[in-house]
């Protein structure tokens, strides 16, 4: 009887050791399948598993929009038959191959987690991304992105509504791997596979492995005539009502919108009130943005549609709560401003 027990124990131990050897490596979360009564639901995963002989390192990528930070959990693990046990959780090893790992978690909702093995010889890369704009192209996807500093970016293409242009971004490193991470729901981390001065090659792991590419944009809009004073009659675009004047102001108050654009600040005047804001231009000089309002105000980014001589057109969000709605405002240059303004001025 003892001999039979010993043989069975040795058999399970050998299988566990073999499974352990197969699991060793760094795996990136590719996608998650939630099996429901209806169609299976696929979603992205933002995590890594680094499995060695005696421990698992579990790394997540952050979501700043939700106040989440990167986390790393280091835990010993045990393999018993086809079960992987670590950090008080038990997963069924449904499949493990040279490049794929499928773990299953049985709970109220059955879930499968699909991982892909990362290459062994990935080298650290010299990246020149911040303060540059790039076209962002992949399968059935095209956008343009401007990495305006080391943590904020603007979607400057047409793939996003105007109030969703600004986002956080980061280069997240783990051992010899670098990942481009967007603070965007459902966006997986992109493995940076290669880079040069004008191009960055990326791999996105989901139900398939797709190649993406960032190609530097060297275009700059000519804004030599931007500075100066501008006025708009604030036309009633598509029956959009004028913003209400401040209380206790006369009914015949001037409703025109004035801009006074200086080198380092911009004054906005309407209804006799003036606000002064610090402004900056993106890399292609197609977007004017206010750093303090970038992530907190839907008017934080203005697109400069056209500037020709004494005509200026900007695009910004409308005053409605519908994120896809935008408005074009046309301005005329004030050549000789003989009128004095008695507006009360506030500095932001």
Q: pTM value?
A: 0.82
Q: What's the pLDDT at 193? A: 92
Q: What's the pLDDT at 203? A: 95
Q: What's the pLDDT at 40? A: 83
Residue 159 has pLDDT above 60, yes or no: no
Q: How many helices and strands in the chain, by DSSP H and E?
A: 1, 28
Give the residue with greater pLDDT, 236 vs 26: 26
Integer-rounded Cα Rg, in Å, for the chain is 28
Residue 344 has pLDDT above 80, yes or no: no
Length of the chain, in residues? 348
Same CATH topology for 20-117 and 228-347?
yes
SS3 assignment, position 149: coil
Give the residue with greater pLDDT, 193 vs 242: 193
Class of domain 228-347: mainly beta
* Strand (E) or helix (H) holding 20: helix 2-23
Q: Count other C-beta atoms under 10 Å from residue 103's C-beta.
A: 23
Instruction: Delimit the domains of the chain by residue range.
Output: 20-117, 132-216, 228-347
Residue 166 has pLDDT above 70, yes or no: yes
Give the residue with greater pLDDT, 240 vs 327: 327
According to DSSP, residue 3 is labeled: H
> Cα 142–153–347 angle (5° rounding)?
135
- Positive/negative CA dihedral, 235, 239, 243, 248: positive
**Confidence label for 335 from pLDDT (cuts 50, 70 and 90):** confident
| Least confident stretch, 4-18, 22-36, 170-184 | 4-18
Predicted confidence (pLDDT) per residue in 265-320, tens digit: 999 998 888 999 999 999 999 999 999 988 887 778 999 999 998 999 998 876 55
Give the residue with greater pLDDT, 346 vs 32: 32
Average pLDDT over residues 60-73: 80
The CATH T-level fold of domain 20-117 is Lipocalin (2.40.128)
What is the rounded average pLDDT for all residues in the chain?
82
Contact 260, 318 (CB under 8 A): no
Structure tokens at 91: 């997963």
Residue 237 has pLDDT above 60, yes or no: no
Residue 7 has pLDDT above 90, yes or no: no
Predicted confidence (pLDDT) per residue in 89-138, tens digit: 889 999 999 999 999 986 656 889 999 999 876 667 778 899 999 999 99
């Amino acid at each position: 009887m003892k001999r039979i027990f010993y043989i069975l124990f040795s058999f399970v131990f050998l299988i566990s050791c073999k499974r352990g050897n197969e699991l060793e490596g760094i795996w990136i979360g590719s996608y998650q399948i939630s099996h429901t009564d209806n169609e299976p639901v696929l979603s992205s995963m933002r995590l890594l598993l680094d499995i060695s002989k005696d421990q698992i390192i579990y790394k997540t990528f952050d979501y700043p929009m939700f106040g989440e930070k990167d986390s790393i959990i280091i835990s010993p693990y045990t393999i018993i038959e086809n079960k992987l046990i670590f950090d008080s959780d038990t997963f069924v090893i449904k499949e493990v191959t040279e490049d794929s790992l499928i773990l299953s978690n049985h709970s109220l909702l059955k879930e499968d987690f699909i991982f892909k093995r990362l290459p062994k010889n990935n080298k650290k890369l010299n990246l020149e991304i911040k303060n540059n704009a790039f076209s962002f192209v992949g399968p059935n996807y095209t956008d343009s992105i401007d990495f305006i500093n080391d943590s904020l970016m603007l979607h400057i293409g047409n793939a996003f509504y105007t109030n969703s242009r600004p986002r956080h971004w980061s280069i997240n490193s783990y051992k010899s791997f670098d990942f481009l991470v967007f603070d965007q729901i459902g966006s997986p981390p992109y493995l940076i596979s290669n880079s040069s001065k004008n191009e960055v090659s990326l791999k996105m792991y989901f139900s398939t492995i797709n190649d993406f590419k960032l190609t530097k944009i060297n275009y700059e809009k000519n804004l030599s005539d931007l500075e100066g004073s501008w006025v708009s009659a604030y036309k009633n675009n598509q029956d959009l009502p004028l913003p209400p004047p401040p209380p206790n102001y006369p009914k015949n108050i001037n409703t025109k919108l004035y801009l006074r654009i200086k080198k380092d600040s911009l004054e906005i005047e309407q209804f006799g009130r003036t606000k002064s804001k610090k402004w900056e231009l993106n890399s292609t000089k197609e977007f004017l943005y206010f750093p303090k309002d970038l992530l907190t105000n839907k008017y934080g980014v203005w697109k400069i549609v056209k500037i020709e001589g004494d005509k200026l057109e900007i695009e910004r969000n409308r005053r409605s709560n519908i994120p896809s709605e935008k408005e074009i405002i046309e301005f005329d240059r004030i050549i000789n401003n003989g009128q004095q303004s008695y507006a009360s001025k506030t500095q932001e």
